[in-house]
Chains A and B, each alone.
Chain A
Amino acid sequence: MKAHWSVVLAPCLVALTFAVSGVSALLGDRPLVWRARPVTLSEAMANRDQGEVVRQVGAGVSLDGRYDVYDVIKRGQHTPATPLEAAIATREAYMFELGLAYGAHLGPDNARALFCLADAGEAAEIRDALREKFGRQDCGGVTLPW
């Protein structure tokens, strides 16, 4: 019997773990294994988590606020960022456009800083889109968020 336990041990452990996790998810919306951790709106943006961005915006979180981003933009560090700045950190134009589509403010007052951040962060597609809309920006004297 001992030898047979060696055959069933690993599969049973895995099955039992995910069964308990599954029941916990069904009953309390809290799976035990690989549960979604709470993130700020900017962290969701920096993680390319489009669904979480939409959920938080729908729940009333402002796309124009500045929120902490931990361990994404800078490894092991807290980096405050607006969702649009966090989108630039991903270098993905679709994340930047997501922010705009769901109501983030983009105007002459913040375009320069975003352009310079995109330029410095090698987010070429976002930088070019900003240049097309607002013209080339002078980055001299602009303080970047990180």
Chain B
Amino acid sequence: MAAASANDFTRVYYQPVTSPLRVDPRAAAWALGLVFAIGLAGSVYRIPIQVTDALETIERSLTVASLPASFASGIGNSASMLRPLREVRTKLLVEIGDALGGRYDVAFRGYHALSGVVLVLLFVGVAGARTWTDVTALVFALAVLTGMHTFSGMFREAYPTNHFLTISTYAVATYALARSRGGRLADVAAVAFLVISLLTLESGVLVLAVAVAAAAAGARGISRPALGAMALVLAGYALFRVGYLGLHTAGLGEHATGLWASVISPSEQVARFGANPLPLYAYNVVMSGLAVLLSQPSAGRWTVAEAWLRGGLSPVFVVEMGSSVLTTALIAWYAFGRDAAGRRRWRDPVVVVFAAVLVANAAVSWAYAKNEIIGTAGVFYALAAFAAARAWLVQPTSAEATAGTPSRWPAGAAVALLAIVSTAWAVRDVGLHFKLRHTAFVSRSEWSEVLVPNKRDAWPANARRLEVVSRLKAEAVATRVPSPAQMPEWGESWWGEE
């Protein structure tokens, strides 16, 4: 009798949720996405344009006459990178800044903030929430998306635009195309997205990984001929890059990278792995993948081990690793379970695409580990978390509940567990804004070393360059940002050192 009562309760408990509000869940999903996006945009917009890796590119754009000339200059200006669209974007944003009366901060920072809004709204669109249970799962997934340590990397730096954010956006857009009804327009768009991504950053190859994985999982929005065209684009890119331009990729000793609990410098890498770099490359790939699933290591470095050895395991490690381990377990539960029709869920496009992007994204991190590089995998991790949370909230399935199948969990425990994980992700989400404030402080500070009054011989000789750099500096220092001394002292222990 007691068991029957529990089942009755479960049946009622897991009924599709109806809202007392007369609001369409789909409208609520978009509204909530917009709320997340506006908060993100507000914090991103207030970061001044950075000097490191950005000012030089902006100044270079001033020396070329047009957008096509920028494209051409981006093809031959590096021995290892082929990123002409970075030059084109920079030139375009400078021209927009000029058109706004010299408001370069509006152009560059507005672009970065708007790109964040686009990514978040694309995420909402791809999730496709239709019921209130879906909306609940979406809010959880949005917290995962914005709370991921890989997500903040796409907003803390801009060179002067963040190309990792560009790749993630096109990757999600490609997934949306794959899930669509398809057609000629979708095919053309998919090929265009790959071309744009490849000419923005080498990680653009992830767009093809998304398209192929989605097709393998049964998503038919991108036709086979279009997939073939995308493969040809990649082959043509490789031929042009390696065969014609003779560019090499990043290799051993070009960037510092984490190794176990420490960071090894480029010279140390050459000294230790010069004879056989494969162990280091394998380490970078495996650790980059693990970082998405566990939030450790960070840029290849097990900072949690270092903190443990120092005897100071601060809350940030508990919150970050705890939320990630439980969310990864949720995704694993979803992937290895069966849907209402008895099919294995690991064949779901969202699971297949996440797995493919995780592997491909980790693979492109072979030379060195960096949180931003695996940002795209982080976005698809959040999409997988959405699917898993939705299934978690409706389990047992309505068919099972009708048949009297008991819940695998005591009533309420499933939701309570998700609520705890969701709250942990919300804490991490606050950390995103905390870190963005810190970034704003650092970016603003950098301008003190530009156009220094007692070093006039280092100022640009060209009048146009001097005018633009002066304007950029004036805008940057005019942006009021709190110094670390004005931020909560306990912030670092909850959200990390930076």
Contact = CB atoms under 8 A, between A and B. Distances in A.
Mutual binders A and B: yes
Interface of A: 1, 3-4, 6-19, 21-23, 25-26, 29, 31, 33-37, 39, 44, 47-55, 58, 72, 98, 100-103
Given A34-B487, A101-B454, A54 B477 contact: yes
B45 A25 contact: yes
Contact of B426 (A14, A50, A98): A14
A58 B477 contact: yes
B69 interface: no
Given A13-B426, A15-B32, A22-B39, 12 more contacts: A7-B393, A7-B422, A14-B429, A18-B43, A25-B42, A31-B46, A47-B484, A49-B445, A50-B445, A51-B476, A52-B477, A103-B453
Contacts of A49: 441, 445, 483, 485
Contacts of B46: 25, 31
Contact of B419 (A6, A48, A51): A6
Contact of A29 (B423, B454, B480): B480
Given A31-B42, A58-B474, A101 B452 contact: yes
A39 B441 CA distance: 15
A34 B483 CA distance: 10
B1 to A, nearest CB: 25
Interface string B33-57: 0011011111101101000000000
A13 B485 CA distance: 26
B433 interface: yes
Contact of B448 (A8, A14, A23, A50): A50
A15 B39 contact: yes
A26 B350 CA distance: 36
Task: Tell me which of B17, B142, B426, B479 has the highest count of chain A C-beta atoms within 10 A of its own C-beta.
Answer: B426
Interface residues of B, number: 66
Nearest to A71: B485
B327 to A, nearest CB: 13
Nearest to B133: A4
29 contacts: A1-B20, A3-B13, A4-B393, A4-B415, A7-B140, A7-B415, A10-B427, A14-B143, A14-B429, A14-B430, A16-B39, A18-B42, A18-B43, A18-B433, A22-B38, A22-B39, A22-B40, A31-B46, A36-B483, A36-B486, A47-B486, A48-B483, A51-B48, A51-B444, A54-B447, A100-B454, A101-B455, A102-B454, A103-B453
B145 to A, nearest CB: 10
Nearest to B48: A51
Contacts of B143: 10-11, 14-15
Given A54-B477, A101-B455, A37 B132 contact: no
Contacts of B48: 51
Pick the most buried of A11, A36, A72: most chain B CB atoms within 10 A of its CB. Answer: A11
Given A3-B412, A7-B140, A23 B38 contact: yes
Contacts of A15: 32, 35-36, 39, 142-143, 146, 429
A54 B20 CA distance: 55
B104 interface: no
**Residue from B39, B132, B139 having most chain A Cβ neighbours under 10 A:** B39
Contact of A11 (B42, B45, B140, B487): B140
Interface string B413-439: 001101100110111011001100100
Nearest to B450: A54
A120 to B, nearest CB: 23
A72 to B, nearest CB: 7
